[in-house]
Amino acid sequence: MVVSFHLRYFHRGFEPHLQCAHVWHTQDTPSNDGQRLSLNSGFLPAVDELNVYKIKDSMRLKRAITHRSLNRRERLYLCVFIRSLVEVAKDHQHPMRKLARAQISMTMWRWTADGACLKTNAVRPDALKYDVRQLLCTNAARNVAQTTIKDLRHEHVVPRIMLAHRIIDEDMSLKVIYKFLSKFCKPVIVTKNEDASFSRSCMPAEWSWAEGCEYARYRDADLYMLIENFNANRVPESDWLPGPTPP
């Protein structure tokens, strides 16, 4: 029994990129389709299924950047959607109250994880979810991303549940929602182990909205100084499509 694998390539310019990799067991017979490559052929060293997917994940960092963070206009659309749900979310008698609150929280995920295509400006869900080249990340997360994304987590400096409750409880206007999320809804990519080192649902006891630093949880977990604060690959904000200022 020999482990074989099938690689499918696509081309960007003259450089081939690994698009997907599948591992299976096959009888030790010659392939006649010209696509299966034996691991014993010397093309690649023997690897297991997990390592093949690590190869696939590591190729992500070598590809050209194709998506950017959402601009003001696109994020304003998200704020409009959030505002439309606030009335339902704060009505304790409304049968859709819990669903509205959940959707407000999920929209904040869209605020940080989604990206817009640089060519078409079409928004793609989770395009930047684990992009350590464009989002803030810890040094450990950047190192892990060289081999796999399975041990990474897309985290928010202030838990989304707190942000959602604040927007609903304060009955924020569209303009206030935009400013509020711009300040507090920020992503940081961390490792799975780092994610387990601090609270995922609340800020430190002494923290306040008025004076507290949004990175307080990272400070208390000794992760603040490990955050990569500069990234030369980030698409400059000046290159984003201009968007209107919220009214």
Question: Which residues, 6+ apart, have CB-to-CB distance to 34 below 8 Å?
Answer: none
Prediction pTM value: 0.69
183 has pLDDT over 90: yes
User: What pLDDT shows up at residue 49?
Assistant: 40
In the chain, % of residues over pLDDT 70: 66
152 has pLDDT over 50: yes
User: What pLDDT shows up at residue 175?
Assistant: 95
In the chain, % of residues over pLDDT 90: 53
104 has pLDDT over 80: yes
Strand partners, 21: 7
User: What pLDDT shows up at residue 11?
Assistant: 39
Render pLDDT for 46-85 as a digit per residue (tens, 0 to 9). 434 444 344 445 445 567 889 999 999 999 999 999 999 9
Render pLDDT for 22-32 as a digit per residue (tens, 0 to 9). 333 334 434 44
User: What pLDDT shows up at residue 64?
Assistant: 84
User: What pLDDT shows up at residue 62?
Assistant: 60
Render pLDDT for 203-242 as a digit per residue (tens, 0 to 9). 999 999 998 889 899 888 888 766 655 444 444 443 333 3
